[in-house]
Amino acid sequence: MNDLAVFLNALPDGIVAVSEQHVVLFANAAVYDTLGVLPGGMTGRSLSDCLKDQNLLMQLDKTGHESFLTLETDVNYPRKLRLRIKIVPLQEKSGEPGSPVALFIFTDVSRELSTAESRERNSKLETMRLLTAGVAHELGNPLNSIIMKADLTERLVSKLPDSETKAKIEKDLDVIVSESERLKRIVEDFLKAARPLSFRPVETDLKKLCERCLAVMEPELHSRDIAIQQYLSPVPPALLDEDLLRGAIINVIRNAAEAMPEGGLMIVRLETEGDFFKLSIRDNGTGMSEETAEKIFDPFYTTKQTGTGLGMLQIKRAMEAHSGTIEIKSRLGKGTTVTLKAPLRQSETHVLDSPEAE
């Protein structure tokens, strides 16, 4: 065994190197712990043939290895686990057939939740919860008054005869209104993150919900020179929490928009895949670095000057409440695709309401 293999076998994460055709070239010792298969039994076989968990298989089946990707999913095999899967395309390909083109890294994050670091992260979040809930709540009312008064003043000023002073006041009022509105959004984000999650699923037409989210965001997208292509297939009505999903979808759209400062193209696709819905939002914006992809779900992590770093957290909470997943596929300089997936649980009222059910 060479030194590198000894090193890889000492790591707690399952690591699998695959060829262009997804044939396993190498698997380290920890794949036994994370995937429940012996490393020796994997080499030479196609990766999907080695995966025993159906959910994981479904997640990885259609996944390519051309771009950096992180996703999290619950698996039942070898035991109940939350797995984080990272796909790392290898930059320097030798081009020879049978040479490695990508690494799949499987991390048991259910175990991670009990580490000191995440305990610290949770207590940080808990403290912030209490603090922000108080402060943000207090900020809401004065902010609303400021916005209202500025609106009124704007209307009064517009009636004054044209002058240089009038133009200057109008410009300043614009700044006051737009900055206060931004502040209001930040306060709302903090309040949402601070509130304990409530999950109230109702029968929902997801296609309509997506259309409504796009309609809300349309003016902002338009003003940013962003074109939207939407391919929304009807999805069977299912029990979903509309508020949580609306928040999640709008956050994904907003992040996509903010990643395209010079304008661009956003492609929104909604499909049914077995018993799941799959909503993907793709942008051709800045993409994200490996570091960002790693930290994207950390509370308060932001690369934006005016960001809160709470959007992804909100998306994650919403998807976890639906037993769903978020998949992020990103290439620096090329763009990002965020895919939300969750099971479409059918409402039981259908059964109760049917005439046979008397």
Taking the complex as a whole, how short is the minimal distance between the CB of residue 17 and ligand ADP, in angstroms? 27
**Order of strands across the sheet with 226-232?**
24-27, 14-19, 100-108, 81-89, 68-75, 325-331, 335-343, 276-283, 264-273, 226-232
Taking the complex as a whole, how short is the minimal distance between the CB of residue 269 and ligand ADP, in angstroms? 15
Spatial CA neighbour of 36 closest among 75, 71, 73, 88: 75
Per rule CB under 6 A, is residue 336 in the interface with ligand ADP?
yes
**Residue nearest ligand ADP, Cβ-based:** 311
Binding mask 276-305 for ligand ADP (x = CB under 6 A): -------x-xxxx---x---x----xxxx-
Using CB distances below 5 to 8 A depending on partner kind, what does residue 153 bind out of ligand ADP, Mg ion, none? none
Decide whether 76 or 118 has the Cβ nearer to ligand ADP: 118
User: For residue 258, what are the contacts with CB-CB under 8 A and spacing of at least 6?
Assistant: 285, 304, 307
Taking the complex as a whole, how short is the minimal distance between the CB of residue 318 and ligand ADP, in angstroms? 13
Binding-site size for ligand ADP (CB under 6 A) equals 22
Positive or negative CA dihedral for 345, 217, 69, 321? negative
CA distance 73 to 81: 8
Per rule CB under 5 A, is residue 255 in the interface with Mg ion?
yes
Binding mask 37-76 for ligand ADP (x = CB under 6 A): ----------------------------------------
- Token pair of 286, please? 């800045």
Other C-beta atoms within 10 Å of 232: how many? Answer: 17
Q: What is the CB-side half-sphere exposure of residue 260 using CA atoms within 13 A?
A: 27
Taking the complex as a whole, how short is the minimal distance between the CB of residue 335 and ligand ADP, in angstroms? 7
Binding mask 306-325 for Mg ion (x = CB under 5 A): -----x--------------
Binding mask 259-278 for ligand ADP (x = CB under 6 A): x-------------------
Per rule CB under 6 A, is residue 307 in the interface with ligand ADP?
yes
Using CB distances below 5 to 8 A depending on partner kind, what does residue 292 bind out of ligand ADP, Mg ion, none? ligand ADP
Using CB distances below 5 to 8 A depending on partner kind, what does residue 286 bind out of Mg ion, ligand ADP, none? ligand ADP
Among the candidate windows 27-35, 137-145, 251-259, 269-277, which touches ligand ADP by CB under 6 A? 251-259
Among 59, 73, 132, 308, binds ligand ADP (CB under 6 A): 308
User: For residue 137, what are the contacts with CB-CB under 8 A and spacing of at least 6?
Assistant: 191
Using CB distances below 5 to 8 A depending on partner kind, what does residue 283 bind out of Mg ion, ligand ADP, none? ligand ADP
Using CB distances below 5 to 8 A depending on partner kind, what does residue 256 bind out of ligand ADP, Mg ion, none? ligand ADP
CA distance 184 to 139: 8
CA distance 205 to 212: 11
User: For residue 327, what are the contacts with CB-CB under 8 A and spacing of at least 6?
Assistant: 59, 63, 69, 70, 71, 337, 338, 339, 341
Kindly report the CA angle at 68 between 67 and 74, in degrees rounded to 5?
115
Q: Which of residues 190-249 bind Mg ion (CB under 5 A)?
A: none
Among 210, 214, 312, 340, binds ligand ADP (CB under 6 A): 312
Taking the complex as a whole, how short is the minimal distance between the CB of residue 257 and Mg ion, in angstroms? 9
Among 255, 280, 284, 339, binds ligand ADP (CB under 6 A): 255
For residue 170, the cross-strand partners are: none
> What is the residue type of 79?
R
User: For residue 285, what are the contacts with CB-CB under 8 A and spacing of at least 6?
Assistant: 256, 258, 259, 260, 261, 264, 335, 336
Residues lying near ligand ADP in the complex (CB under 6 A): 251, 255-256, 259, 283, 285-288, 292, 296, 301-304, 307-312, 336
- The residues that touch Mg ion, with contacts defined as CB under 5 A, are 255, 311
